[in-house]
Amino acid sequence: MAQRIHLIAAARPNFMKVAPLWHALAAAPDFEPVLVHTGQHYDANMSDAFFADLRLPQPEHHLGIGSGSHAEQTGSVMIAYEKIALADRPDWLVVVGDVNSTAACALVGAKLGIPTVHLEAGLRSRDRTMPEEVNRLVTDAIADVLWTPSPDADENLLAEGVAKSRISRVGNIMIDSFELVRPAIEAADVPAELKLDRGGYGVVTLHRPSNVDDPAQLARLVDALIEAQRGLPLVFPVHPRTARRLRAALFDSRLARAGVTLVEPLSYVRFMSLVTAAAAAITDSGGIQEETTYLGIPCLTLRDNTERPVTIAEGTNRLVKPETLAIELELALKSPRPVRCPALWDGKTAGRCVADLRRRSGPSKLPSAERGPLGFAADAAARHGPIEERRRASGRSSYRRSS
């Protein structure tokens, strides 16, 4: 019987991580992927457009959680997902990235004794004021299997005392998404639609609470963008969180008057069409630091730290302050672009994930009496640590596969 794998999709950056894995699992006879959308992002251009671009089906379960405080969002996802997990009894749970839904579902999986995998494990900014850093720490501490994108992630986990057997380096799944829809990205010509010269503009995204929720920091960033726009025309697809803040301070009209092109958030294909023809990206997103490294496009990250240092060491990324953005942009445009790309950022990560799941699931060499409550082989349990023990301790005999 095919193993049922719950894949949790919640917010915009998750969809590019879930899609390649969903496609690879759907093509494998021994796995049955089940998409669960928590509804953390819900606007058509923050969610549906990504499902369409990445050829994902309608999720089998939609939790409809929506926005809220961190506790509200995390708690609501836990309550709703626990019901689905108990009713559906997956063989594996895969959570991706670092959003609130990632940590929430991992907590549910761990407490129900569902073998839980974290895709994009081990990244650390070492800045616990970032909500994502807390989500990463929590998720990696409780997931059974940690799929990492780069050696620094393995090192972080090992330094935290994680057993080596729980870690599998699979590479960067975001690159799989890019390669999956590369023809559509190449066919779209969003720069032309926006009357921008190919290679003659910069693309901007900002949405981190530390940048946009603090009015003084947002004002500094607006000034920096206006200064940078004098050297390079900028186009700025505005995240809803940021749009609200810009509007409230009348910064949106200031930016527009200075010549910055403000647009609604774009779908994946349309956004990547804009990025691939850009001279540079200016961002506080994690994913864009990686995509620009893969594409060899200079990236200026408006943050004090990054959980993706490999994009600096081996890629095109540099951390900048608002005050130095314009000069750093000028320098980046003049500097030669590195042609190197981190190992295993090759579009084949989803295949490695499926192979790892298979390796960790069996084929069972053990008689059925030695298998766990979910049909999960005890030898695999021994490989990833205390799964079996936790199941027994939790006394969840109700969480037993009936078939």
User: Applying CB under 6 A, does 237 fall inside the site for ligand UD1?
Assistant: no
Minimum gap (Å) between residue 61 Cβ and ligand UD1: 18
CA distances from 165 to 123, 151, 168, 255, 348 (A): 18, 15, 8, 51, 22
Which residue lies nearer to ligand UD1 by CB, 155 or 264? 264
Which residue lies nearer to ligand UD1 by CB, 3 or 102? 102
Determine how many CB atoms are found less than 10 A away from the CB of residue 101: 31
Burial, 262: exposed, middle or buried (Cβ in 10 Å; 0-12, 13-18, 19+)?
middle
Structure tokens at 218: 């947002």
User: Applying CB under 6 A, does 106 fall inside the site for ligand UD1?
Assistant: no
User: Applying CB under 6 A, does 203 fall inside the site for ligand UD1?
Assistant: no
Which residue lies nearer to ligand UD1 by CB, 77 or 377? 77
- For 77, the enclosing helix (H) or strand (E) is helix 70-88
Of 233-241, 248-256, 300-308, 340-348: span binding ligand UD1 (CB under 6 A): 233-241
Minimum gap (Å) between residue 73 Cβ and ligand UD1: 6
Minimum gap (Å) between residue 174 Cβ and ligand UD1: 13
User: Applying CB under 6 A, does 129 fall inside the site for ligand UD1?
Assistant: no
Q: What stretches of 89-150 show up as alpha helix (H) in DSSP?
A: 100-112, 131-142
Minimum gap (Å) between residue 317 Cβ and ligand UD1: 16
Annotation marks residue 207 as catalytic: yes
Minimum gap (Å) between residue 170 Cβ and ligand UD1: 21
Which of 99, 110, 255, 299 touches ligand UD1 (CB under 6 A)? 99
Which residue lies nearer to ligand UD1 by CB, 125 or 168? 125
Cβ atoms of residues 317 and 299 within 8 Å: yes
Which of 26, 43, 79, 230 touches ligand UD1 (CB under 6 A)? 43
User: Applying CB under 6 A, does 162 fall inside the site for ligand UD1?
Assistant: no
Which residue lies nearer to ligand UD1 by CB, 40 or 150? 40
Burial, 351: exposed, middle or buried (Cβ in 10 Å; 0-12, 13-18, 19+)?
middle
Categorise residue 39: left if φ over 0, alpha if ψ from -120 to 50, beta otherwise.
left
- For 173, the enclosing helix (H) or strand (E) is helix 173-180
Q: Which residue has the tokens 């058509």?
A: 44
Catalytic amino acids?
Answer: 207
